[in-house]
Amino acid sequence: MEGEVKVKGDHRLLLKDYILLLEKLLGDRLRSVCLFGSVARGEDKAASDVDLLVVADGLSEDVGLRHRETNEARMKIRGTDAYRRLKSGGVGCLISEVFLTPEEVERHPPILLDIAEDGVILYDKEGFLSGVLAGLRRRLKELGARRVSGSKGKYWILKPDVELGEEVRV
| pLDDT tens digit sequence for 95-133 | 999 999 999 999 999 999 999 999 999 999 999 999 999
- Alpha carbon distance 67, 116 (integer Å): 24
| pTM, 2 dp | 0.89
Nearest to 97 by CA among 10, 18, 8: 18
- Alpha carbon distance 42, 38 (integer Å): 6
In this structure, which CATH number among 3.40.50.410, 3.40.50.720, 3.30.460.10, 3.40.50.150 belongs to the domain 10-142?
A: 3.30.460.10
Residues 55-83 have a mean pLDDT of 94
Task: For 169, list phi and psi in degrees, rounded to 5.
Answer: -115, 140
Looking at every residue in the chain, the average pLDDT score rounds to 91
DSSP state of 162: P
| Pairing state between β 120-124 and 146-150 | unpaired
- Alpha carbon distance 127, 164 (integer Å): 38
Q: Give 19-67 pLDDT, tens digit per residue.
A: 999 999 999 999 999 999 989 988 888 888 999 999 999 999 999 999 9
Q: Helix axis angle, 81-88 relative to 9-26, nearest 10°? A: 140
Per DSSP, the three-state class of 68 is helix
Angle at 30 between CA 14 and CA 99, to 5 degrees: 75
pLDDT at 33: 98
Asked whether the predicted pLDDT for residue 2 surpasses 80, the reply is no
Distances (CA, A) of 12 to 8, 19, 57, 131: 5, 11, 25, 23
> What percentage of the chain exceeds 70 in pLDDT?
96
